[in-house]
Structure 1
């Protein structure tokens, strides 16, 4: 395993670091000011459009997509340090580069499983950053950690499918630029194989029967970075049969293909969030005095900083190993490592951000620093894309098999 950055990665890292310093960090306060004046909290601040235009001009666009036909053609190992950098400003940087969830996963699904018409109609405008999208899987009435529980029905009726169901925490659905949902539901609820009951289908947002009912908050935040999270009801929604992605019964497999890259992308960005937290913690520690000496001279604060650095280096190496495995042996071959990083990274980063909050005192939970929002985002990732306990259960079973 060689994790040294190649020439292309070094070039993109240099450009991206400069882009963050010159454009993204200065835009953070501007975005908050502009958002406060918007007619709707879900409208996009003008500065976001300016960032997207500049990123595209500099060639910092669609870096997440390894398919060279549609994206930058980077490997997971090449993309990892770039995604980490964007994690330092999760509300603006991923969106600016057209590398924000849930659009990234939806573009991967369309690129891998969509037909030519679906790619033309939906993938191309997503790749161009002209529209946004949502992924409708999670449901309030069932434990969505087990995707076989999904109750939404996708029923064939002649040349159409009719969708009925209720979803919530549907990322991206509050964004007014969201034009398309990828909906997961059951086409064969009585099928003998519980992993062949589900299918995925494209549902335009303006289809009759689609109701975006309300915004769901995350620890009190509206989470603009993902275009919000919504409760969405599908009531007799009728779409052409050609909107089905892949084949009937293929939804579970498509979801697994989508979630593998999504999980590592989250972990890459989480490391950037942790780096931002450590930077803020150190700046605060050297600038504040308590009991006659700087916080940086307090032993407990020094321990927090040292532990954070050790933890970040450990996490980064595990994420890079996972990226390397995904590139060399595929997502299936990296299954254990993907689960390992999904367990370890959010857990550790939540703790690092929490210590940074503690060093900031009341300021740490305020809107004057990004730490509270960073904490809420990191804590949510202990649930998103499968809760920790599901990954622990699966990983433990695989480990135990060696001894049975």
Structure 2
């Protein structure tokens, strides 16, 4: 792995102590499905993290962030990801962190003050409303059906969104809608008339801090300066957001799957079976060895893509490959951890089954593996890329 400067190494050690000593001990598995309880807990932990200078790793130092490079974030977010509550506490959870990246790149000075600064300070929450029920936008961005029409005072939005992560607890949304020129992004306060939360779409994930809401936009009026970035470039802007989001997911979920395997190893060293410790059985040893191999490869792929992003390179191809590999590798690691620990692994007495449920959606979120594989192959053939 990459070498860090002394100051970054000290920061990583402080973050590790914070997660191990403050965050993980406060996880309450019996209350994993109580959103209000866990939101309050994350707010408490975030305030503590802010006081210790541990939040917003990608945020600019001038705005109160840590100013870490993408490569430095690999270790930092893996550390945060070891806990269900860690990313929220350290302000590197989706959708907030990718939205910070988007606002830093696209926001006007007024938008930075109104939306970015409160997001960095942890006083407001955001959501990203892009996906739509059929026949609207899913994996194919050409199917975007939400519309934005110019008015004398700004824009009028109409559309139907769902799986907008954290919309139910957000203060504002970044909404994608089609104008006459093309797909565009808009900043919308959730209290704005015409922005209606229909329901939360419940999923398999425990410690769900914000839900995945269904939204109706019905003649939702926003001012002219609600446009984020350039009109008609919403898909390009969303790609900027998604490439970083995929990397952040990889970093965090490597941490969570690593914790799963550590728990399984601890169990295997202590549990006796057929006259020997579980760790002495070769089939268990093979699963542990494969997990370490996969996590090592996942870390290296993620770091390589992060370094390319730091160098200003386009990472569309590499981020897609990394996302596919890491999303599948962390699931295999967690599945092996559950298998090693048997019935305890599938119970809610231990975190493993919850870790597995949190990891499974990553093969779908931010582009399903099959969609990415198709895109990877098309680029290979169209650009003549060598393996």
Q: Tell me whether 1:267 sits opposite 2:260 in the alignment.
A: no
- What TM-score results when the alignment is normalised by the length of structure 1? 0.90
**Counterpart in the other structure of 2:218:** 235
- Partner Cα distance (2:385, 2:236) in 1: 29
Residue-by-residue CA offset, 1:109-128 (whole Å, 9 max, x unaligned): 11211111111111111111
- The answer (yes or no) to whether the contact 2:161–2:216 under 8 Å persists in 1 is yes
Question: Residues 266-320 of structure 1, C-alpha deviation per residue, up to 9 Å, x if partnerless?
Answer: 1111211121011011011122223332221222111100110111111111111
Q: Distance in 2 between matches of 1:382 and 1:218?
A: 14
1:179 is aligned to 2:171: yes
Match of 2:190 in 1: 205
* Separation in structure 2 between the aligned mates of residue 150 and residue 357 of structure 1, nearest angstrom: 40
Which residue number corresponds to residue 375 of structure 1?
A: 356
Tell me the secondary structure at the aligned position of residue 162 of structure 1: strand
Distance 1:48 1:232 in 2: 25
CA distance, structure 2, for counterparts of residue 353 and residue 403 of structure 1: 33
2:54 aligned with 1:69:
no
Per the alignment, residue 146 of structure 2 pairs with 152
Residue 384 of structure 2 corresponds to 402
Residue in structure 2 matched with residue 246 of structure 1 by the alignment: 229
Judge conservation of contact 2:32–2:206 (CA < 8 Å) in 1. Answer: no
- The answer on 1:224 being equivalent to 2:208 is yes
Gaps of 5+ in 2: none
**C-alpha distance 45-243 of structure 1, shift in aligned 2 (>3 A):** closer
Asked whether the 8 Å contact 1:42–1:174 carries over to 2, the reply is no
CA distance in 1, matches of 2:33, 2:369: 34
Contact 2:58 2:101 in 1 (8 A): no
In structure 2, distance between residues paired with 1:348 and 1:363: 22
Does the 8 Å contact 2:291/2:333 carry over to 1? yes
Give the aligned partner of residue 90 of structure 2.
97
Q: 1:403 to 1:373 in 2, by over 3 A?
A: closer
Map of 2:15 onto structure 1: 16
Mark the CA change 1:180 to 1:276 in structure 2 (over 3 Å): closer, same or farther: same
Residues 347 and 353 in structure 2, CA contact (< 8 A), matched pair in contact too: yes
2:77·2:251 contact (CA, 8 Å) conserved in 1? yes
Cα displacement (A) at 1:324 = 1.0
The aligned runs of 1:1-12 (5 Å cut-off) are 3-12=2-11
Q: Give the C-alpha shift of residue 33 in structure 1.
A: 4.5
C-alpha distance in 2 between matches for 1:299 and 1:217: 40
Give secondary structure in 2 for the equivalent of 1:174: helix
Alpha-carbon distance in 2 for matches of 1:44, 1:345: 27
Instruction: Return 5+ residue gaps in structure 1 as ranges.
Output: 192-196
Does the residue aligned with 2:145 lie in a helix, a strand or coil? coil
CA distance in 2, matches of 1:85, 1:229: 25
Cα deviation per residue 1:310-336 (whole Å; 9 max; x = unaligned)? 111111111111111111133x1x332
Question: Structure 2 CA distance, aligned partners of 1:264 and 1:322?
Answer: 8
Shift of 1:35: 7.1
Gap change, CA 1:143 and 1:161, over 3 Å in 2: closer
**Please, which of 283, 286, 291 is the counterpart of residue 308 of structure 1?**
291
Which position in structure 2 is the counterpart of 1:326?
309
* Residue 116, structure 1, aligned to residue 109, structure 2: yes
* Distance in structure 1 (CA, Å) of the matches to 2:380 and 2:74: 27
Describe the superposition over 1:359-388 as per-residue Cα deviations: whole angstroms up to 9, x where unpaired: 222222222222222222222111111111
Inter-partner Cα distance in structure 1 for 2:146 and 2:207: 25
2:265 to 257, 261, 282: 282
Deviation of 1:73 (Å): 1.5
In structure 2, relative to structure 1, the CA distance for the partners of 1:323 and 1:45 (3 Å cut) is closer
